Structure 1
Amino acid sequence: MQATDEQLDLLIIGAGPAGISAADVAAREGLNYLVIEKGLLADTIYHYPVGLTVFSTTNELELREGALEPCREKPTREELLSYYVRFVLEHNLRINTEEAALRIERVEPEGFVIHTDRAEYRASRVLVAVGGTARPRRLNVPGEDLSKVHHRFVEPHPYVRKDALVVG
């Protein structure tokens, strides 16, 4: 694991809409920041079924007013992913994907050391912007770790005419 000499003003954990929005504000405020994401950009949305219509309104999903323009009233998974990727690229936001935060350590006099699976970062502040599916609540019942059990919404096609149980 490599330690970085760079002192960050802010390290953001999570590159979903909240993390991307925080990075956008940090960049506009001139902060030295970095976002780390254990998965892909907008990872939860990436794992939605292909073609899924997202039932949040556009103004709840867009990062800047008027920037998200779906074909219909509600955006699809693909429209959202395209929007978030385009936003990150257009604004040159500093985001490391496929880098998991392992531990946050408070250091004196002020600040934190953030240990990831790739590096160690020093930051004055840490913002944890992980979504609700980052750590699903398990039921602690036998069989929940089987390969056929999912802890997020998955493509339903493989389950046509099969018995299924949906909890939550």
Structure 2
Amino acid sequence: MNEDFDLIIIGAGPAGLSAADAAAREGLSYLVIEKGTIADTIRHYPIGRTLFSTVNELEMREGTLKPVREKPTREELLSHYIHFALDQDMQIITEEEVTDVNQTEPEGFLVRTPRGKYQAARVLFAIGAMAHPRRLNIPGEDLPKVHHMFVEPYPYV
């Protein structure tokens, strides 16, 4: 698949979705490429987890996130982001990892994935803070039950 876009956004978390929303409102052709699913990092939070952030820090547009309590749960936030992407008919490809980004001449970028190549005038990396955790390089950190973020505890009890 070879396609040309004004903007390619790598990552479909809150920042990537916000960038896609802004691009659409500006009339830009865009594509979001996500190696996992929409809001993938949040999807890996423990079931039922209440988030520390307030609604105004998390919602895509003012008044669109309405949690039962003061702060939303993992499920409420996932639902909010997924429905926002669907309601806005966002151009998102999930389960497709970007393998290479190269600048092309005279200007622009070629973005490659295992499934295709995409050309864009600009590329925005919105991979999130959890995409590349800071490793400590200590013995045991790569063991199967060692994680770089809090995960659902039930498989281990």
Report if TM-score (shorter chain) is over 0.5.
Answer: yes
Alignment partner for residue 119 of structure 1, among 116, 119, 137?
116
Runs of 5+ unmatched residues, structure 1? 161-168
> What's the RMSD between the two structures over aligned residues?
1.1
| 1:41-64 C-alpha deviation (Å, 9 max, x unpaired) | 000000000000011010010111
Counterpart of 1:166 in structure 2 is: none
- Tell me how far apart the structure 1 counterparts of residues 120 and 43 of structure 2 sit (CA, whole Å): 29
**Equivalences for residues 26-65 of structure 1 within 5 A:** 26-65=23-62
- Tell me how far apart the structure 2 counterparts of residues 101 and 152 of structure 1 sit (CA, whole Å): 23
- Tell me how far apart the structure 2 counterparts of residues 117 and 134 of structure 1 sit (CA, whole Å): 19
Is it true that 1:98 corresponds to 2:95 in the alignment?
Answer: yes
Q: Kindly report structure 1 stretches of 4+ aligned residues shifted beyond 4 Å.
A: none
| 1:89-119 C-alpha deviation (Å, 9 max, x unpaired) | 1110001111111111001101000111221
- Tell me how far apart the structure 2 counterparts of residues 150 and 132 of structure 1 sit (CA, whole Å): 15
Counterpart of 1:82 in structure 2 is: 79
| 1:23-45 C-alpha deviation (Å, 9 max, x unpaired) | 01111111110000011100000
Runs of 5+ unmatched residues, structure 2? none
- Tell me how far apart the structure 1 counterparts of residues 114 and 136 of structure 2 sit (CA, whole Å): 28
**AA of the residue aligned to 1:119:** G
Q: Give the CA deviation at 1:151.
A: 1.7
Number of matched pairs: 157
Counterpart of 1:150 in structure 2 is: 147
- Tell me how far apart the structure 2 counterparts of residues 134 and 153 of structure 1 sit (CA, whole Å): 14
Counterpart of 1:70 in structure 2 is: 67
TM-score, normalised via structure 1 length: 0.90
TM-score, normalised via structure 2 length: 0.96
Q: Give the CA deviation at 1:12.
A: 0.1
- Tell me how far apart the structure 2 counterparts of residues 145 and 106 of structure 1 sit (CA, whole Å): 34
Counterpart of 1:164 in structure 2 is: none
Alignment partner for residue 23 of structure 1, among 6, 20, 25?
20
The structure number with the bigger radius of gyration is: 1
